Structure 1
Amino acid sequence: MSKEQRAQVNAMLRQPRPDGPQSVEAMRAGFKAMMAQMAVPDGLRTARTTLGDRPALSVEPGDETRPGTRIGTILYFHGGGWVFGSPETALSLTGNLVARTGFRAYSLDYRLAPEHPFPAAIEDALSAYRALLDSGEDPSTIAFAGDSAGGGLSVTTCLAARDAGLPMPAAIVAFSPGLDATRTGESMDTKAGVDPFFTREGLGHTGAMYLAGADPHQPMLSPAVLADLTGFPPMLLQAGTNEVLLDDSTRMAARARAAAVDVILDITADVPHVFQAFAGALDEADQALDRAALFLTQHVHLPDTAATSAR
């Protein structure tokens, strides 16, 4: 661990910001500028594509794979409070998972609030998963992953898939997921001021755009406190102790355990929301990404390519 690294990240996130609620355009521009500073692994191959009814960014390892080789697929959902962010702002996270696993990823450009409030993002994510299945991909080769709001989508998309009668993906990886629109976790108060990124007021501002008047007391908005997780795939939840959303992960882990779901709750001390984005600048970020990659390679089933090609 490096106290100096953590102090530098904390100072960056505590840089002065405009007072009062920002416009949607200002939030989107500010987030894009911040995430552009994050390191992306060299040698990745990226291309714009379409998945379901939405644009997506395909991210593949730099090494060419032999034709016909089957590799794992990560369906990635970016963060941004359901209001800002894009596949490009999440490229440091997606790219690091791809580089560490050798899997390919599709990072979905789902619709954003306030133009497209709940449940538009979930509908887009489900459509993307359905498109992968319709293309012939085995669900055992697919994992959902996401950060912040996208981490929440990795869970709620599983709920939607189960409700639609679709098979579950092989695994879920969620970085600092947003899993409780009721904001009733104790960390919302105990970590106030400790969190360099979020405040209850700020979360309420973007949350209201996504909810658009919907009752937050429903599983698709607050799965950490209301969802039935029966039949869910193995889950890895990673969070830092310096975030108000910490208890979204701790309560989701408890709920998964009660439903007999394999779950790993991975908490790192003295790091902020989605600290994994600071790979290359924060040792804890690289270590957490290594653990996430190991989890994915353990749970995503890869058919024997030699046997497949011999058929």
Structure 2
Amino acid sequence: MRKLIALPFPPHMDAAPQSAAEWKDLVDRRAKLAIAALPALKETLKVDVQPAVIGGVKAFIVTPRTIPRANRNRLLVHVHGGGYVFGPGEAALPEAILLAGFGGYKVISADYRMPPDAPYPAAMDDAMAVWKAATKMAKPRNMAIFGTSTGGAMTLAMVLRAKAEKLPLPAAIAPGTPWSDIAKIGDSYATNEWVDNVLVTWDGWLGRAALLYANGHDLKDPQLSPIYGDFHGFPPTILTSGTRDLFLSNTVRTHRKLRRAGVVADLNVYEGQSHGQMAGM
């Protein structure tokens, strides 16, 4: 953790792709780095990964080689982070592998479509298709949805949409440092700018990715910024962030709104950590 906290800013922090081809090149370069580390991670944590199509959507099923008895009827659905642009295919898997390995849960990780080819609402449509199909694979009372950053925002938005569509809700959710306000709104966008060594600033690639994904839609649409949705009736929630996280305010605002809606919600803020570092990102 000390090494993570001491890392320099990432080289892509100020990337400004000018075309779909330039976005894809940036995404592919980052994906290759993530994929290269997967074999060792899978072996260390003793999990197997199987590609699948679930609800018509590409996905991966991550299964621990040993599942505790208490978890044998449980199923987690994972939506990955990456600013709605990063983490295609297997590059989305590190967080799912970590939770499957350390927690002993079977995990479905949705490989949802992303910009530049598929802007909003493609990611949400895919995530909801996976959720609907997954509720036929296990009982919703034995299921949870989790994800970090973009995945945290999508976790919240999925519950909003499931409520609206009268679909079964998960028994619990874990939105890690959720991008719950996709616009540059919230104190830590200023106070932790140039302090967070992962996201660094909204005015780099992050804000450009937000606008690319939103594709002209209102940034306060609750499906883009779930902080503006109605949290009444949400399942118990655990939220995580760090003191140096650019999304600390997003996480704290989400926690307060959940509590005001009467939801059981835990907030964990880790000392010295930048964005997503509690998830090994």
Q: Could you say if the C-alpha distance between residues 270 and 221 of structure 1 is closer, same or farther in structure 2, counting changes exceeding 3 Å?
A: same
CA–CA separation in structure 2 for the residues paired with 1:263 and 1:122 = 23
Q: Does 1:80 align with 2:89?
A: no
> Between Structure 1 and Structure 2, how many residues are aligned?
270
* Aligned amino acid, residue 14 of structure 1: F
Q: CA RMSD in A?
A: 2.2
Q: Could you say if the C-alpha distance between residues 46 and 81 of structure 1 is closer, same or farther in structure 2, counting changes exceeding 3 Å?
A: same
8 A Cα contact 2:67 2:104, kept in partner: no
Q: What residue is the counterpart of 1:115 in the other structure? A: 117
Aligned-pair CA distance for 1:111 = 0.6
Aligned-pair CA distance for 1:11 = 4.3
* Aligned amino acid, residue 63 of structure 1: T
Equivalent residues in 2 for 1:202-281, closer than 5 Å: 202=204, 203-224=206-227, 226-278=228-280
Equivalent residues in 2 for 1:25-36, closer than 5 Å: 25-35=24-34, 36=36
Equivalent residues in 2 for 1:124-135, closer than 5 Å: 124-133=126-135, 135=136
Q: Could you say if the C-alpha distance between residues 77 and 247 of structure 1 is closer, same or farther in structure 2, counting changes exceeding 3 Å?
A: same
Q: Give structure 1 stretches of 5+ with no counterpart.
A: 280-311
Q: What residue is the counterpart of 1:290 in the other structure? A: none
CA–CA separation in structure 1 for the residues paired with 2:208 and 2:159 = 26
8 A Cα contact 2:73 2:138, kept in partner: no
Out of 83, 88, 103, the residue aligned to residue 105 of structure 2 is 103
CA–CA separation in structure 2 for the residues paired with 1:197 and 1:96 = 19
CA–CA separation in structure 2 for the residues paired with 1:248 and 1:212 = 22
String of CA shifts for 1:130-156, please: whole Å, max 9, x gaps.
Answer: 1112x2521111100111111111110
- Aligned to 2:90, what secondary structure does the other structure show? coil
| Range that drifts further, 82-91 or 142-151 | 82-91
Q: What residue is the counterpart of 1:51 in the other structure? A: 54
Q: Could you say if the C-alpha distance between residues 64 and 260 of structure 1 is closer, same or farther in structure 2, counting changes exceeding 3 Å?
A: closer
String of CA shifts for 1:147-198, please: whole Å, max 9, x gaps.
Answer: 1111111110111111110121011112221110222111001111101122
Aligned-pair CA distance for 1:123 = 1.0
Q: Indicate the structure (1 or 2) with the bigger Cα radius of gyration.
A: 1
* Aligned amino acid, residue 208 of structure 2: H
Q: What residue is the counterpart of 2:16 in the other structure? A: 21
Q: What residue is the counterpart of 1:160 in the other structure? A: 161
8 A Cα contact 1:71 1:103, kept in partner: no
Aligned-pair CA distance for 1:272 = 1.4
- Aligned to 2:218, what secondary structure does the other structure show? coil
* Aligned amino acid, residue 152 of structure 1: A
- Aligned to 1:75, what secondary structure does the other structure show? strand
| TM-score of the superposed pair, with normalisation by structure 2 | 0.89
CA–CA separation in structure 2 for the residues paired with 1:110 and 1:15 = 24
CA–CA separation in structure 2 for the residues paired with 1:235 and 1:182 = 23
CA–CA separation in structure 2 for the residues paired with 1:100 and 1:75 = 16
Q: Could you say if the C-alpha distance between residues 20 and 97 of structure 1 is closer, same or farther in structure 2, counting changes exceeding 3 Å?
A: closer
Q: What residue is the counterpart of 1:287 in the other structure? A: none
- Aligned to 2:120, what secondary structure does the other structure show? coil
Q: Give structure 2 stretches of 5+ with no counterpart.
A: none
* Aligned amino acid, residue 4 of structure 2: V
| TM-score of the superposed pair, with normalisation by structure 1 | 0.81
- Aligned to 2:147, what secondary structure does the other structure show? strand
CA–CA separation in structure 1 for the residues paired with 2:251 and 2:29 = 26
Runs of 4+ in 1 over 6 A off after TM superposition: none
Aligned-pair CA distance for 1:84 = 1.6
Aligned-pair CA distance for 1:87 = 5.1
Q: Could you say if the C-alpha distance between residues 31 and 13 of structure 1 is closer, same or farther in structure 2, counting changes exceeding 3 Å?
A: farther
Q: Could you say if the C-alpha distance between residues 64 and 238 of structure 1 is closer, same or farther in structure 2, counting changes exceeding 3 Å?
A: closer
Equivalent residues in 2 for 1:138-153, closer than 5 Å: 138-153=139-154
CA–CA separation in structure 1 for the residues paired with 2:250 and 2:12 = 26
Q: Could you say if the C-alpha distance between residues 91 and 227 of structure 1 is closer, same or farther in structure 2, counting changes exceeding 3 Å?
A: same
Q: What residue is the counterpart of 1:194 in the other structure? A: 195
| Range that drifts further, 14-23 or 103-112 | 14-23
CA–CA separation in structure 2 for the residues paired with 1:217 and 1:10 = 32
CA–CA separation in structure 1 for the residues paired with 2:78 and 2:49 = 14
Percent identical:
31
